[in-house]
Structure formats: structure tokens, C-alpha cells
């Protein structure tokens, strides 16, 4: 879906599909360098990270293993509920593995702070975070993020996996959602 198809739902476009693909390829190169010679497992956080994970994985020039988790701290609204739940756990034993959590956005930091601690408790060799977007002004918890695509303002954004009530995920770009849509 293109932004032109949305008839006023977006205030602006922050990143185009081309911007996103270029940045994911740059991040993949850095990750490859940092984990050279290591057995890397990338763990996508469902559902939002599907686009990021798929495109980033295709940018790698090495073998890697992927798994998925579904966790939630959101209801159907635009704010975190403050309670993290595992909806789908890993299928892979991560003991002794280098784990890179891949997410589309870090908002408050609650979910990824909890998830990092949870995976570290499973005896992983290391647990790091990679995110396409981060909202520094929205952070309420300290979260160490090794790879960040872009820092963005504390606005409600959609597209490229980011949603509002399960809509807009298939938008190729990332844009700021107009307040009239979610007010």
C-alpha cells in the first residue's frame, strides 16, 4: 500500500521504502561484522517486526537462524498497558547462543527491557537489541540498544509493520498517523 492510498490518514512521511531498505542493509553489514564467526540467532518480535526482520534477513550475506516471539504490552489503543505477556514463545533453545532481538520500534522500553531480561535468564551467550525506530522522549525504562535505525519524535507512527488497530502494517513507508484517525 502506498501513502497516496490513505486519503489524509497521514500527517507526513518520515521514511520512504527506499530509506528503510538502505538503512536495514547498513545495519545488516554492521551486525555481520560484530558477529563474525559467531552463531547468531535473530529473534523477531511479532507482529510489527515481520517486515523489518524479513528485509534485514535478506540483506545478510551469511547464514543465520531466525525465530519469533509474540509479546504484548498494548491493548487496541495507542499506549502501553504496562503488563507484558508472552503470546508465543521461542521454538529454539537459546542456551549458549548469541541472540539478537529484532523489533520495529522502541516506545516506552517496557516490553524490550522485560524481554531482554527474560531471554538472558535462559542462559544465552548474549542478548542484544536491534530496532528500526526508537522514541527517546517516550522511554520510561533504561534499555540498552545495540543497533538503531533512527531516533524519531514521540509521535504515533504507522507503516512498515507498525500499526494502529492492525491497520497500516502493509504501508511501504513510515509516516505519522493523523490524530483524527485515533482520537
Tell me phi and psi for residue 76, to 5 degrees: -100, 5
Helices 17-34, 50-59: axis angle to 10 degrees equals 60
Q: Within 13 Å of residue 97, how many CA atoms lie on the same side as its CB? A: 19
CA gap 62, 82 in Å, rounded: 37
Per the residue annotation, which of 9, 55, 103, 107 is the catalytic one? 107
H/E element, 66: strand 65-74
User: Per residue in 40-69, is it b (16+ CB within 10 Å) or e — as a string?
Assistant: bbbbbbbbbbbbbbebbbebeeeebeeebb
Examine the residue annotation and report whether 5 is marked as an active-site residue of this protein: no
Catalytic residues: 107
Amino acid at each position: 500500500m502506498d501513502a497516496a492510498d490513505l486519503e489524509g490518514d497521514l500527517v507526513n512521511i518520515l521514511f520512504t521504502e527506499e530509506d528503510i531498505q538502505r538503512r536495514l542493509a547498513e545495519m545488516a553489514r554492521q551486525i555481520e561484522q560484530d558477529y563474525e564467526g559467531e552463531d547468531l540467532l535473530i529473534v523477531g518480535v511479532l507482529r510489527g517486526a515481520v517486515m523489518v526482520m524479513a528485509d534485514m534477513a535478506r540483506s545478510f550475506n551469511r547464514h543465520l537462524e531466525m525465530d519469533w516471539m509474540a509479546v504484548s504490552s498494548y491493548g487496541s489503543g495507542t499506549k502501553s498497558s504496562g503488563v507484558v505477556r508472552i503470546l508465543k514463545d521461542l521454538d529454539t533453545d537459546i542456551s549458549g547462543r548469541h541472540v539478537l532481538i529484532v523489533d520495529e520500534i522502541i516506545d516506552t522500553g517496557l516490553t524490550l527491557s522485560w524481554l531482554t531480561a527474560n531471554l538472558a535468564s535462559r542462559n544465552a551467550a548474549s542478548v542484544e537489541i536491534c530496532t528500526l525506530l526508537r522514541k527517546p522522549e517516550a522511554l520510561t525504562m533504561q534499555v540498552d540498544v545495540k543497533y538503531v535505525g533512527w531516533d524519531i519524535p514521540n509521535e504515533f507512527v504507522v507503516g512498515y509493520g507498525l500499526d494502529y488497530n492492525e491497520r497500516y502494517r502493509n504501508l511501504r513507508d513510515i509516516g505519522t498517523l493523523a490524530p483524527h484517525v485515533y482520537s
